Structure 1
Amino acid sequence: MTAVLEIEPREKEKKREAVRESLAEQGIEFILAQFVDIHGGPKVKQVPVDCFDDVVDDGAGFAGGAVWGMGLGPESHDLMARTDLSTYTRLPWQPNVAMACCDLFVDDEPWPYCPRTNLKRMLSIFAEKGFALNGGFEPEHFLVEKDGDKIKVWDPSGIDTLAKPCYDFKGMCQSMDYLQDITRYGNEMGFGIYQSDHEDANGQYEINFDWTNGLHASDRLIHFRMMTGQVAQKYGAIATYVAKPFEDKTGSGAHLHFHIADLLSGNNLFPLQEGEEDWKGLGISKTAIHYVGGLLKHIRAITAVASPQINCYRRIQSGEFVYSTDSGYTWTPSFASYGDNNRTQLFRSPASNRFEDRSPSSMVNPYLLLAVHIAAGLDGIINEIDPGEAITGKNIWNLSIEERKNLGMILLPQNLLEAVEALEEDEVVKSGLGPIADEFIKLKKAEWGTFMRHVTPWEIQRTLTLI
């Protein structure tokens, strides 16, 4: 796959007519013009299909001050969401509706606070160096239902109760119709879903997609989360991407498998290249090692983007002994390392053609994550950053904190404020966000302040009569 480049005017007109014809053939009556806010939350306007040209050329208008992180106030000019012709897709669960991703404009200029526009900027910078970023997310999520003011696992048959429910047949069977709907609908939308399973926690599921370029991989994750939210309602459930909805169960991630390719040939640059020495003993090229070196150097700042909500840090807590769950494992890195096919690593190489980043939370904004990935990884390539020796043959979770530090592993931030302060000091990672960085930092500090004013029942129970 190659980087996503802007369509030439003549090609755009051809594409426009092809999309128009396709919408007519499918009986589409309405278009959802969709973009995301700074959190990665989807925002839409519903437009009659007769207004197709309007949303392509001018865009659907939004009040930017009504959306988080857009750098606009109530006095600002309209935010115009213009549909990307390459992203039109019919919604299988609402077959008279097509959805299209939008890029945001203000006063006819691309708006730099738009997460999708910002990722396109970073992909263009990467392309100038001759590279394309390809990948795919593995979104984990829970099916839950409301229980008064609390939530509980969606378990209509009362059988999803095992301590180690991962891949369990019975647990899978009661959710089979839901997972089949997701697979069928996702593949109708071009996802290339090839596996689904019951994950490590009760009520938790994971879906695996095909690879694509970085922009459309991000689009796909947003649309997947939208789809699961709609389909789950059919079964009386809520699909939640809260990273850690239950304190005794494994959290949900959005593991990212990625590689970089040569822009012109499309060849994957991560396997050893012809005549190249196997520098770290992983069968991985120097380009791949340097890219990961950049990610590791900047990992504390990246974590603010990979785990953007306070709850995300419930997943990555560390201690002298590994914080455990009912199943016995968290499956989440708390220290930064890289190595071979070993799920206790942060960056594992399951094969010579890719790395997996196991740190991102299920609540990640994928556009922002891939933008900072490029910034940090490119710093690694340009400056030939050496990440040190690869960690192989070790269960990192069983090592003491001192042993991990002696191996050069960096402790990930243990709360949102710590991560945001690391981001604030990292000019390379901030450059990947452009002006979004200041909005993000301001918003996250405000969230932390609000959180710290909240008194929890745990605090009262523990300290009411302590002194």
Structure 2
Amino acid sequence: MSPLAELAQASGTKFILALFVDLNGKPCAKLVPVEAVEQLASEGVGFAGYAVGAMGQQPKDPDIMAMPDVASFTPIPFVKEGLALVHCDPHVEGKPWPFAPRVILKAALERAAEHGFDTWVGAEVEYFLLRRDAEGRLVTADPHDTAAQPCYDARGVFRMYDHLTSISTAMNSLGWGNYANDHEDGNGQFEQNFEYADALTTADRVITLRYLLSVMAAERDMVATFMPKPFTDRTGSGLHLHMSLTQGEDKVFVGEDGDVSPLAKSFVAGILDHACALQSVIAPTVNSYKRTGVTASSASGATWAPRTPTYGGNDRTHYIRIPDSTRIEVRGGDGSANPYLAIAGLLAAGLDGVERGADPGPLGSGPAGALPLTLLHAVEALEEDKVLIGALDAAGSGVAEYFAGLKRQEFFDWHSSVSPWETERYLTAF
């Protein structure tokens, strides 16, 4: 009996979602009955790659075979009795597929390991809970969530008690260590935190949590959205990533006298130096730049989104916050980020800074200029950034060019669409 079959049997699993994501972060899966678990374990399960979406394939190409990573096996009976999920590494003709985000992250982690580093990541997943009204418009799921400053409001948390506690219970049953659940800064916005882990595990958990939030909210007739900026006048949703490195038992970000180490500062400098290109992978949608490019405060009085690539101490106005001597927090990413690509890109940028012995300057400083104003600007920065190109191409060449092309087309698809703003502004203006 294979290890996957043993886990399925021990957990009473009847069906397994064999899951992976495309470059845009779309979760793709096949539902495999436990009777076929040995076939799944040995051969994987096949997908027509072009039909999946952004996976670097054409209709003529061979099947993508999703090979399960047994270590990621996750029973989710709170969704459906007897259901489990396993994250997969897509392969084509027996080899890891270089356009698969999980494969890209694994290549980045191997490079870090060659430098002697283990990579640890914590993630803050922010999201909105919405409903559709009688006219089909998206509105806040909680009709009483109308306060001018709703962040941390105990009453807002109580009104969503059933949803929040069901997700918390699910996370803790999986051993994730959920330690806080709160109302965030926007009406209808929430965050549910879990303990940090190795980088691959955390990326898998972000994908799993998004899936759980989506399906469990839908059971209560709600829409859980990770869209960066669903409302003009509300705070956007971030995916803040806390990163640290270790060498064996040594926490190499920890310096003397409570400060971070010179290595950690070089890691920070590397991220700041590549911040404009990084935005293409940690803020990868047109809508992302309605969050980081906003010039007016939200209804609550702050946007909480960085506009320039700077770093500071325990200060949430910067692109990188250093809350203590063990870790850094990158605040430029948003809810649309593919966690595998985001971590791979940040790790490559940080290691480039370490290799160069880069200096970020004094607290509050960073490279001159602002972050990209649009997705197109971010793509153009990516195309000029050899380090980020190398991160995306780490498992095989051509991925960065393909990804940049996808995102450029996404920008022009939006640009060619006529919006209500244009109609209101121009219809009778001349």
TM-score range, shorter chain: over 0.9
Q: Where do 5+ consecutive residues of structure 1 fail to align?
A: 1-12, 392-403
Task: Tell me the distance in 1 between the aligned counterparts of 2:25 and 2:424.
Answer: 35
Provide the rounded CA distance (Å) in 2 between the counterparts of 1:410 and 1:303: 14
CA distance in 2, matches of 1:101, 1:341: 35
1:53 offset after TM fit, Å?
1.9
Note the alpha carbon deviations across 1:207-266, whole angstroms, 9 max, x for none.
11101111111000000000001111222211011111111110001111111111xx14
Q: 2:416 aligns with which of 453, 459, 462?
A: 453
The count of residues paired between Structure 1 and Structure 2 equals 424
Choose which of 335, 347, 352 in structure 1 pairs with 2:308: 335
Q: Which residue type is aligned with residue 332 of structure 2?
A: S
> What is the alpha-carbon distance in structure 2 between the residues aligned to residue 411 and residue 150 of structure 1?
34
- The superposition leaves residues 167-201 of structure 1 with CA deviations (integer Å, 9 ceiling, x where unpaired) of 11111111011000000011222321110100001
Between the aligned partners of 2:249 and 2:120, the Cα distance in structure 1 is: 10
Q: 1:235 aligns with which of 198, 201, 220?
A: 220
Cross-structure match for 2:371: 412
Aligned residues: percent identity? 40
Query: 2-side partners of 1:378 and 1:314: how far apart?
Result: 30
Letter aligned with residue 358 of structure 1 = R
- Is residue 93 of structure 2 the alignment partner of residue 107 of structure 1? yes
1:136 and 1:41 map into 2 onto residues whose CA distance is 21
- CA offsets, 1:390-416, max 9 Å, x none? 12xxxxxxxxxxxx8xx7553111110
| The one of 373, 376, 381 aligned to 1:422 | 381
Deviation at 1:132, TM superposition (A): 1.4
The equivalences for 1:44-193 within 5 A come to: 44-91=29-76, 92-147=78-133, 148-155=135-142, 158-193=143-178
Aligned positions of 1:317-466 closer than 5 A: 317-318=293-294, 322-391=295-364, 408-434=367-393, 435-466=398-429
TM-score (norm. length: structure 1): 0.88
Alpha-carbon deviations, 1:381-435, whole Å to 9, x = none?
Answer: 00111111112xxxxxxxxxxxx8xx75531111100000100111111110013
1:96 aligned partner, one-letter code: G
Distance 1:316 1:193, change over 3 A: same
Contact 2:44–2:66, Cα closer than 8 Å, also in 1: yes
Who is 1:247 aligned against? 232
Are the counterparts in 1 of residues 307 and 370 from structure 2 also a CA contact under 8 Å?
yes
Match of 2:254 among 271, 289, 305: 271
CA distance in 2 between partners of 1:125 and 1:386 (Å)? 22
- How far, CA to CA, are the matches of 2:141 and 2:422 in structure 1? 29
After the TM superposition, which parts of structure 1 deviate over 3 Å for at least 4 consecutive aligned residues?
Answer: 407-410
Q: CA RMSD in A?
A: 1.5
Aligned to 2:277: 301
How many Å apart are 1:317 and its aligned residue? Answer: 1.3
- Distance in structure 1 (CA, Å) of the matches to 2:164 and 2:239: 17
Where in structure 2 are there 5+ consecutive unaligned residues?
none
Looking at structure 2, the residues matched to 350 and 214 of structure 1 have their Cα atoms a distance apart, in angstroms, of 19
2:5–2:38 CA contact under 8 A, matched in 1: no
* 8 Å Cα contact 1:259-1:354 kept in structure 2: yes
User: Match of 1:316?
Assistant: 292
Aligned residue number for residue 398 of structure 1:
none
